[in-house]
Structure 1
Amino acid sequence: MIRFRLKELMADKGFREGRRITMDEVSRETGIHRTTLSKIANQIGYVTNTNILDQLCTYFDVPIGEVAEHLPTPTDQSDSSE
């Protein structure tokens, strides 16, 4: 599963700059619709495209590995009981 780290990136940038970073600001600065940003931040399994990932990398000045991370897919509990 791919997990997006948008909330963490916003918190880190806000800490470095000594201010609060909002979804509205990220939307305005990147051109990514606020609804899309909200889905990236909150919806498990949300699928986005490489242009959006590129815009986030540019805005936060980080490599792709900082924007998204791969997590092992949880295994079904019933499989482990056999």
Structure 2
Amino acid sequence: MIRFRLKELLAEKGFQENRRVTLDEVSQETGIHRTTLSKIANQRGYNTGTESIDRLCAYFDCKVEDIIEYVPISDTPKSAD
């Protein structure tokens, strides 16, 4: 499964700049809709296009592997039924 590290990147950027970085700010700077960013950050298994990943890389000045990572299905927590 692909996991997005958007929350971690927001926290790192906020820490480096000593301020809170919001999804609204990222949306305004990247042109990615706020709802899409929320889904990337919060929805397990969300699928987004390479254009969004490219814009996030430019915004955070990072590599693709800093935004997304592969997590084997066996390593993902089981949901409570």
TM-score (norm 1): 0.89
Q: What fraction of aligned residue pairs are identical, expressed as a percent?
A: 64
Shift of 1:74: 2.1
Runs of 4+ in 1 over 3 A off after TM superposition: none
Structure 1 CA distance, aligned partners of 2:14 and 2:60? 10
Shift of 1:22: 0.3
Structure 1 CA distance, aligned partners of 2:15 and 2:44? 26
1:12 partner amino acid: E
- In structure 2, the partner of 1:71 is 71
* Equivalent pairs, count: 75
Matches within 5 A, 1:1-82: 1-74=1-74
Instruction: Please give the secondary structure, in 2, of the residue aligned with 1:20.
Output: coil
Instruction: Please give the secondary structure, in 1, of the residue aligned with 2:69.
Output: strand
Instruction: Write out per-residue CA displacement over residues 39-67 of structure 1, whole angstroms, 9 at most, x where no aligned residue.
Output: 00000110000000000000000000000
Which of the pair has more CA radius of gyration?
A: 1
Structure 2 CA distance, aligned partners of 1:13 and 1:35? 20
1:31 partner amino acid: G
Structure 2 CA distance, aligned partners of 1:43 and 1:74? 18
Unaligned runs of 5+ in 2: 76-81
